[in-house]
Every structure is written in C-alpha cells, then in structure tokens.
Amino acid sequence: MKLKILLGLLLCVVTGLQAQEYFPKNDAVKAGVNTNFTVFKNANIYVDPSNYITGGMLAVREGKVTAVGKNIKIPANAVVIDLKGKTIYPSFIDLYTNFGIEAPKAENNSNRGNPQYDATREGYYWNDHIRPETTALESFKYNDTEAEELRKLGFGVVNTHMPDGIIRGTGMLVALNSEGTLGDRILDEESAQYFSFDKSAKSRQVYPSSKMGAMALLRQTYLDADWYSKGKADNKDLALEAFNENKGLLQIFKTDNLLDELRADKVGDEFGVQYAIVGSGNEFERLDAIKATNAPFIVPVDFPEPYDMEDPYIAAYATLGDMKEWNQAPANLRMMAQSNIPFAITSKDAKKNFRENILKAVEYGLDKNTALAALTTVPAKLIGQENSLGSLKEGAWANFIITSGDYFDKETTIYENWVQGKRSVIEDIDLVNLNGTYDVKVGGNSYEMKVTGEAGKPKAEVKLNNNKIGSKINYKNNWVNILLSAPDTTKAEYTRLSAKIPEDAKSFSGKAILGDGSETSFTATRTAEASADKKDKKPEHPEILPVTFPNMAYGFESLPKQENILFKNATVWTNEEQGIVQNTDVLVRNGKIAEIGKDLNARGAKVVDATGKHLTSGIIDEHSHLAASAINEAGHNSSAEVRMEDVVDPDDIGVYRNLAGGVTTMQLLHGSANPIGGQSAILKMKWGASPQEMVLDNSPKFIKFALGENVKQANWDSNVRFPQTRMGVEQVFIDYFTRAREYEAQKNSGKPYRKDLEMETLLEILNGERHITAHSYVQSEINMLMEVAEQLGFKINTFTHILEGYKLADQMAEHGAGGSTFSDWWAYKYEVKDAIPQNAAIMHNAGVTVAINSDDAEMSRRLNQEAAKSVKYGDISEEEAWKFVTLNPAKLLHIDDRVGSIKEGKDADLVLWNAHPLSVYAKPEKTMIEGVVYFDLERDKKLRGEVEKQKNLLTTQMLKAKNNGLKTQPVKDSKKEEMHCDTL
C-alpha cells in the first residue's frame, strides 16, 4: 500500500509539472487545452483546519493547487477572481458511499420453500456472502445528479463501493468532477476493502444466519486466505485470491449499531487488522469501549427525529432509552472528540439534512475545526491521500468550496464547489444580499419594505402608513421583481416593481408599473441594516440528559464501585458444611467474601443490618438466552465455530430484572437449531458493564449440543437439511467427531493443514478442554449421546432440559453427567409429554448433580421459587433445593471454586432477601456481584421516580420540537423478543 501511495504522489508531482496528453482528439484541434492559472484573491482560506489565511490567495492550474498564501505571485497567464472576503474550504471527502453503484435488491424472501444451504458460485469461496473479488468499477456508472447532490453538500471526492455482502470487495476513490471523464475522476480504482455483517442480497445461502455466524465466517475466511496464500489448496479460489490481494488496502467495516462496532473490532484484533469502522452515531453511549478499539471511525450524522408524543396512549410505549438517544445523539461527535477518538464524518443516511445536522453537532459543542478535519484531512489521511486531498496545499487537487462565510453558520451560503479545478455553481456568487429595511418611493407613496431570509430566497414585508399590505418578492440573477397590492384590499390593483440590483444594494431604482398600467420609476433606499440579533444569539439546544450505563431506564449515572460491606446478623445459607446458620455476619472486602462469623468487626466496612433477613450466594442460571443479540446460527447442522461471547447484549432490561430476582451469574447458551451448537458464554449480570466486562474472566469453555425435535426441524417447515430424525442425529455426531480425529492426525503430522475453527472446537471437546451442555428430552436420545461420547472418547458434562432424566438417572450418574432441568414445564410439545416435576429430585437421589434452570427471561427472575418446587414435588430438603440454583449450577459450570456458596475467598456474589429465599414471599433487597451492589430496592424506588421525571422532560422537549415544525417519527416498539432455545 505504501508503495502505491508513493507512486501516486510521484504521479501527482509529475502531472503538476507537465501533463502529457496522449489521447487523440477528433472533434477539434488538439492544441486547445486551457493551461491558464486561475487565481482567487481576497479570500479567507482554510488551507487545512489548522491553517487559516485571512484575505489570502489561491492559485490553481490544470486541476491542481499551484500556490496558496497571504500573498502569492500572480502569473501572467492567470484569470484573477476577486472573492471579496468570501471563504474557501477544501472540499469534503466521504469514505462511505455507494455513489454511482446500485445496491442489489434481495428478492422477496417470503414463501420461498426450503432454505438453501450451499453456495451458488463456482470457483469462489464456499460461502456466497464472501465477495472480496467484487470491484466498484465493474458496476460503477457516473451519475451527475447524484454527484451534484454530493457537491451541494460540499463533497469533492468520495469512496464508493458495492454495498453487498460480508466481505464486499474493493471500493474506488472518485472525484465528483462534473466535466471530466472516468479517466479524470478515478483517483484510485482500488482504494479500500469493505466489510459488513450483512449478507449478500444476491444469494439465499443460509449460513451465516446470525451475527456470531458472520463473525465466525470472517475468522475462517482469514484463516483460509492465509492457508491459500501458501499454495496449499487443490482448487482455484478467486475470492480468496482477491482477498489476499486486498490486504494492503484500508479496511473499512460498516456497522449498524454500537455493539457491532465493538464486534467488528474484536474480529480485526484477532487477525492483526485494524478496521476503520463505519459507526452508528451511538458511540457516545460507551465511549470507553469505543476508545479501546483504537479504531478510526467514520461516523454518520443521521440524528434520530423526535418521537411523535402527541397521542398519550401511543406515547406511553416510548422508552426512556429511545427518548434519550434522540436527546443525546447530536452530542455524539462532541463527546467522541472530547475522548480523543479519531473520526471522519460520512453523509451516510443523512443526505437530506447533512449540513443541518453537522451544524447541530457544532451547536451541541463540537469544535468547528474538529468538524472540518473530520470532513477533510482525517478521511484523506485514512485513505492515504493526505498530500493530494483534504487540504489546499501546493500540489493537492484543486477541490474546494467557496462560501459566503463560516460553513458552520446557518446563514452561510455555499456558492461553488470546485473539483479538480472544475467549477460547479451551487448558488450565484455575485448575488447581492438584499436583506435590510428600505424606503420605497413610487407613485407618490412611500412604502416601508423589510427584506429577510436567504439571499437567493428573500422574503419581504411591506407597510404603507404603518398598515401591512400584500406583497411578493422574486429575486434572481440580481434582478428583483416586487408585487404590491393596493392598500384598499377590496381593489384588485397591483403595483409591479422591477430593478437590477447594484453591487452595493444600499439603494436601487427601476421601473414601476402602476395599477392603471402606467409606467413610471421607483427608488428604494436602505434605511436600516438587517438585524443581526440572530447571529449574536447563542444557539439553543434542549437540555442534554446524562448518559447512563446502560443508557436507558434504571441505568447507572456512573458505574457502581466495589464496596466493603458487613452484613450483620443474617440467616446465612452457606451451601457449605456449616449449612444454614443463624445470626451470622458476613464481611465483604475487595469483592471477595472475607469472613463469616459472629459479631465480626466491620474494620471500616459499611454495615448493613440484616436482622431477620436471609443472605445467600447469588442465583446461577445454567441455561439462559438473556442479554444476547442472537441465539441460533442455523445455517449448518454444526456451528461449533460460533461464540455466544461475540453477541452479548448488555443493554437487555432482562439483566436488571434478573438482578431484582437475585441472579448473579448465567450461562448464555446457543440455541437448539443444530446437533452441534455454538460455544457458550458465562456471564455475570453486571448491569451497565460492556459486553466484554460481563463475560466471566477465564471462563471454563462450554458448547451447546442439542437433540430431538428442534435439531431435526420437526417444529418448522424444512425438510432438506440432515438430520430429519433422531437416527440421523447420531450420525451427525459420529461424522463430526470422526472427522475431528482425522483433523487431529493431520494437524499432528507436521504437514501443512488448513486450520478449521469448527474442527478446533471439536478437538477441544475430545481433549477434555471444552465441556458439553446437551439440550435433550427423551430417554432414547440421551442414551444415544452418552454411548456416542463413550465410544468416541469424550464426556457429556451437562444434559440440559433433560426432562426424561428421571428415566435414566442411574446411567447419567454412571457417565458422570449432570442434569439441568425445568422445575415443572411439560406438555408444550410432543417430546415433553413425559416430563414430570419430580425429575430434579429423582435425578438428585440417583447421584446426579442437579440444577434448575430457566431458558426463559420470565422464569429466570424467580428461580428461587422454581427451586422450591423440588421441596414440594420431590421432598428435597430446603438446603439441597437451594443448591439447585446456586452451588450445583456452579459445579456444572466448573466455577464452584469462585461462586455458588458463601465461603471465605469466593466472589462476593450475594443476595440479601427479606424472607426465606425459597419462599414465594421472598424478594431480594440487595444483589451484589464481586462486592458491587448492582441491585438495591431503595435505589430502584428512587429510579422509578427519576425515570418518570426524565420521560416527562423529554416528552416536553419532543412536543416542543414538533411544535417548531420538526419532522417526527412514530414511537418505537420496546418489547424485546424474549429468546428461547428455538428462537431463530
């Protein structure tokens, strides 16, 4: 890449000296090229954002800047343009467009029969959504209407690409020069490589059906490309070849939301690639995490419209989170700048109100120079063109805009946009501003006329003897036409005035045609200047609410800190040998349980009186689908390569609700679409934390397997994917693990091998480094999986759901498998018709480690009640039943050395209950994780008031915005889909 830039530079310099035209010319003499200089004088010039010249000069020749300065030597063959105090800025650069390239439209997806699992292309990668061989040029068609729109916004150069697929191929750097040919406009035909998480519209290939699948696919593509580059593949793969060739380019990753920005960066980091990230505009919600990416950002300015809050019944659906986003988003760029996060600005999604929104960002505190840099030098540098684009230094492309003044002032007009030295007129630069108050004398009357508004679209208000009369004003090319009604409104008589406006519009005169048709003349003399109070007025924006973590209802204004706390005089459920002990103190220090005993010394810790209350370790939900952006990767019957860790969504209100139910840890499981599912994530319910911070440090490795109706796709219409029966399910396992052994042999042979993420995961299982949680229901399939595991040399760690576990608990105990089950669910599908609420108890009695889980956002927040059902249905002791939702799931997750009981040295993940924790009447008063109180009943009470207050304030702000004529959008649907195993 460096070489390329260097070459480009050399080329610039050379052409700067002398352009050698080698094309024949048939429509005129060839020696007719204009090689004159154009020199602009009396201009205020931003050479670049930090280099400003008042009343300077700019010389341009053959599309390039030849000189710029306060005072430069004007060559003899120069056309001089006096800009009379107008301002010149370098034209803007947009790195994310599909200018001149039409995005393919997906065919209507409804009712198209069976899904398509295989790729459709030959000679390319095995996945249709990987399209690095795509070039922008192959589908580019210069479109001057589109170019004009961009030029009007101030853009001179854009990067364009085919916005289709996960790896989208290369983009092309194009100048928006209205006069040249493609040969002139293309600055770099392969300027960057583009990525996204969106699948190609050109293919129906199912894989990847999820975000984590897209991430896994990217990883595998990097590995395959590396392997291919070593010449080890037997086949030709044009996609991988192109991908390898594109490596040296700027890598631009388009995302749609904040979490995806972090995800994209994470994949890049794993392969030593730093993407420039096309952001969402919501970076402000997690600035620390965004900053930690070290990525440059390309940020849109499509701020949300206010919600339409007029109908209170509809307004009731608006969430504080969405409302705050409206309130805060215009401050995004300011906050990014304050955090020193580098960014360029893109016009993506904001073509219509681009400038309005840039100005809004400035109004919300964005520094003007930073804004200008984000439109010029930053993108130029990102694309490696800082010497030829983004500034007006000598040798750079003559791409600049001429404005009436400060671009960031609402009143400022953009007159011209010059690209490669070619002028495009946006507004007439010579148009004289008429604004002011005039004394108009005509036909013996003396009118008072006040002209306001934009120079090209003035408005007039006319009075005669202090009475307003009807009037119309029309102003173009410095000719003004004014129509005046008669003072007597019953008369249809009009006076028409017409005049050419002189350069100094202080007074003008022209022809008047009176009501009776007679012609005379009129004069207008300015008596007062346009009032300037608008300019002096400090721009007002509504009060900006503080960003919280997460930035929604019940979020923290600042992340909560560890506290040293002494719980005094509680009934303590230790889950250890001591059992349940009365009147006991528990001391929490530095996030750990420091001491358990009677009458402990607080040693400076905050004392919480727990008299009459119960203190337990936090609830652990072994089976959850909360806090995730996706659950199933359903594109293949094995998805061992996908990681739930990749799709953690910390902004799920379910996290808060679970804390209110005493849950501190959960296993986020892949769904049950495939016999071999994805890698699990173990999360702590740290409300407000980033996705990465929620993941338990040094988590043991787990993977989800699944059996039965879901994997054979019996509950939805599909009959082309293997397996369709339980018989096939067995063969899937045998197939994959047999191949994993072969892969291992290849890997260990010392010969080159293709690193396969799916096989690597299966090897971890075979080597005992990764544990299996197997979704299972009926006896036969459970038996099958244990036998397959025993044959192939691995173990099933946990059977989850395991509703017929009671039928073969003895075999499970023998195999060493645990059981994590529902307390009482049954009869919702055929394979659970023999499910019984005594299941947990029978398994426990047979020596199986038993947990009660939820698989459900509702049930998980009252798992204490679910545990109590084993006391009822299975005569389990209360102490043991409590372990079903604490210590036992900790054991099943291999984290019982850290959580699951109240023991000195373990994580201070504690719940203070107002009553016996297994009782239906109990509720948590405090839920603590690692010494941090994440839920507190008192705080919740306060927040309820705060939520109402903030919503009221924002509602008023939005109603005001609507009243002021702002466009609104309908209130969003806040009901998040609650996800289960079979959520696709």
The 10 Å CB-count burial string (b at 16+, else e) for 738-759 is: eebeebbeebeeeeebbebbbb
Minimum CB–partner distance for residue 720 and other proteins (Å) = 21
Tokens of 394: 């000598």
Hey, which residues between 931 and 950 contact other proteins (CB under 8 A)? 940, 944, 947
Given candidates 229, 811, 955, 983, which one binds other proteins under the rule CB under 8 A? Answer: 811
Does the N-terminal peptide bond of residue 691 adopt cis geometry, omega within 30 degrees of 0? no
Q: Which residues are registered as beta bridge partners of 311? A: none
Q: Where does this chain touch other proteins (CB under 8 A) — which range of 223-231, 533-541, 733-741, 969-977?
A: 969-977
Given candidates 842, 852, 890, 954, which one binds other proteins under the rule CB under 8 A? Answer: 842
Q: Tell me the DSSP string of 159-180.
A: EE----SSEEEEEEEEE--SSS
In terms of CB distance, is 869 or 898 closer to other proteins?
869
Given candidates 150, 608, 663, 971, which one binds other proteins under the rule CB under 8 A? Answer: 971
Hey, which residues between 368 and 387 contact other proteins (CB under 8 A)? none
Stated as kind and residue range, the H or E segment containing 289 is helix 287-292
Residue type, 891: K
208 vs 672: CA distance, rounded Å: 16
Given candidates 795, 826, 894, 939, which one binds other proteins under the rule CB under 8 A? Answer: 826
Hey, which residues between 421 and 460 contact other proteins (CB under 8 A)? none
Minimum CB–partner distance for residue 834 and other proteins (Å) = 6
Given candidates 353, 845, 955, 983, which one binds other proteins under the rule CB under 8 A? Answer: 845
Taking CB under 8 A as the rule, does residue 178 contact other proteins?
no
356 vs 1: CA distance, rounded Å: 36
The C-alpha torsion from 869 through 873 and 875 to 876, rounded to 10°, is -40
Does the N-terminal peptide bond of residue 208 adopt cis geometry, omega within 30 degrees of 0? yes
807 vs 812: CA distance, rounded Å: 10
In terms of CB distance, is 392 or 958 closer to other proteins?
958
Taking CB under 8 A as the rule, does residue 656 contact other proteins?
yes
Q: Where does this chain touch other proteins (CB under 8 A) — which range of 215-223, 232-240, 416-424, 803-811?
A: 803-811
Q: In what order do the strands lie in the sheet with 519-529?
A: 467-469, 457-464, 445-454, 436-442, 519-529, 507-513, 494-500, 479-485, 471-476
Taking CB under 8 A as the rule, does residue 498 contact other proteins?
no
Given candidates 2, 35, 111, 313, which one binds other proteins under the rule CB under 8 A? Answer: 313
x-marked contacts with other proteins along 528-567 as a string, rule CB under 8 A: ------------------------xx--------------
Number of C-alpha atoms within 13 angstroms, CB side, residue 839? 33
Cβ-proximal residues to 921 (8 Å cutoff; 6+ apart), any chain = 915
Minimum CB–partner distance for residue 815 and other proteins (Å) = 10
Q: Which residues are registered as beta bridge partners of 403? A: 87, 414
Given candidates 319, 404, 639, 798, which one binds other proteins under the rule CB under 8 A? Answer: 319
Look-up of token digits 């007159």: 415
Q: Where does this chain touch other proteins (CB under 8 A) — which range of 310-318, 366-374, 384-392, 538-546?
A: 310-318
Tokens of 142: 């210069």
Q: Which residues are registered as beta bridge partners of 48? A: 51
Q: Rounded to 5 degrees, what angle do the CA atoms 719, 724, 725 make?
A: 155
582 vs 571: CA distance, rounded Å: 4
Cβ-proximal residues to 765 (8 Å cutoff; 6+ apart), any chain = 703, 737, 740, 771, 772, 794
Burial of 540 (0-12, 13-18, 19+ CB in 10 A): exposed
Given candidates 829, 894, 939, 962, which one binds other proteins under the rule CB under 8 A? Answer: 829
CB atoms within 10 A of CB 295: 23
In terms of CB distance, is 85 or 970 closer to other proteins?
970
Number of H helices, E strands in the chain: 25, 42
Q: Where does this chain touch other proteins (CB under 8 A) — which range of 208-216, 368-376, 793-801, 972-980?
A: 972-980
Given candidates 80, 103, 314, 734, which one binds other proteins under the rule CB under 8 A? Answer: 314
Look-up of token digits 């040399």: 793
Taking CB under 8 A as the rule, does residue 801 contact other proteins?
no
Minimum CB–partner distance for residue 868 and other proteins (Å) = 4
Hey, which residues between 71 and 130 contact other proteins (CB under 8 A)? 110
131 vs 150: CA distance, rounded Å: 28
Given candidates 139, 437, 783, 955, which one binds other proteins under the rule CB under 8 A? Answer: 783
In terms of CB distance, is 364 or 913 closer to other proteins?
913
Given candidates 6, 7, 103, 316, which one binds other proteins under the rule CB under 8 A? Answer: 316
Whether residue 383 contacts residue 193, with contact meaning beta carbons closer than 8 Å, is answered with no
Q: Residue count at the site for other proteins (CB under 8 A)?
A: 72
Whether residue 564 contacts residue 605, with contact meaning beta carbons closer than 8 Å, is answered with yes
Residue type, 431: L
Q: Rounded to 5 degrees, what angle do the CA atoms 299, 302, 304 make?
A: 130
Taking CB under 8 A as the rule, does residue 603 contact other proteins?
no
**Helix, strand or coil, per DSSP, at residue 267:** helix
In terms of CB distance, is 69 or 837 closer to other proteins?
837
Hey, which residues between 858 and 877 contact other proteins (CB under 8 A)? 858-859, 861-862, 865, 868-869, 871-872
Given candidates 211, 926, 951, 979, which one binds other proteins under the rule CB under 8 A? Answer: 951
Minimum CB–partner distance for residue 319 and other proteins (Å) = 5
Minimum CB–partner distance for residue 283 and other proteins (Å) = 22
List the one residue out of 396, 390, 405 whose CA is nearest residue 83: 405
* Cα–Cα distances in angstroms (integers) from residue 147 to residues 97, 389, 908, in the given order: 11, 18, 61
Given candidates 825, 894, 953, 955, which one binds other proteins under the rule CB under 8 A? Answer: 825
Residue type, 133: E
Taking CB under 8 A as the rule, does residue 602 contact other proteins?
no
Given candidates 378, 857, 899, 902, which one binds other proteins under the rule CB under 8 A? Answer: 857
Minimum CB–partner distance for residue 932 and other proteins (Å) = 19
In terms of CB distance, is 22 or 828 closer to other proteins?
828
Given candidates 36, 838, 955, 983, which one binds other proteins under the rule CB under 8 A? Answer: 838
Cβ-proximal residues to 812 (8 Å cutoff; 6+ apart), any chain = 782, 786, 799, 802, 805, 818, 819, 843, 846, 848
Minimum CB–partner distance for residue 277 and other proteins (Å) = 25
Minimum CB–partner distance for residue 309 and other proteins (Å) = 11
Minimum CB–partner distance for residue 533 and other proteins (Å) = 39
Whether residue 598 contacts residue 583, with contact meaning beta carbons closer than 8 Å, is answered with yes
Hey, which residues between 715 and 744 contact other proteins (CB under 8 A)? 715
Q: How far is CA 939 from the centre of its chain?
A: 30
Taking CB under 8 A as the rule, does residue 879 contact other proteins?
no
Hey, which residues between 232 and 261 contact other proteins (CB under 8 A)? none
Taking CB under 8 A as the rule, does residue 767 contact other proteins?
no
In terms of CB distance, is 594 or 660 closer to other proteins?
660
Given candidates 64, 807, 903, 926, which one binds other proteins under the rule CB under 8 A? Answer: 807
x-marked contacts with other proteins along 670-709 as a string, rule CB under 8 A: ---------------------------------------x
Hey, which residues between 895 and 924 contact other proteins (CB under 8 A)? 915-916, 918-923
Whether residue 837 contacts residue 869, with contact meaning beta carbons closer than 8 Å, is answered with yes
Given candidates 43, 375, 660, 762, which one binds other proteins under the rule CB under 8 A? Answer: 660
Given candidates 401, 586, 588, 836, which one binds other proteins under the rule CB under 8 A? Answer: 836
Given candidates 577, 827, 965, 977, which one binds other proteins under the rule CB under 8 A? Answer: 827
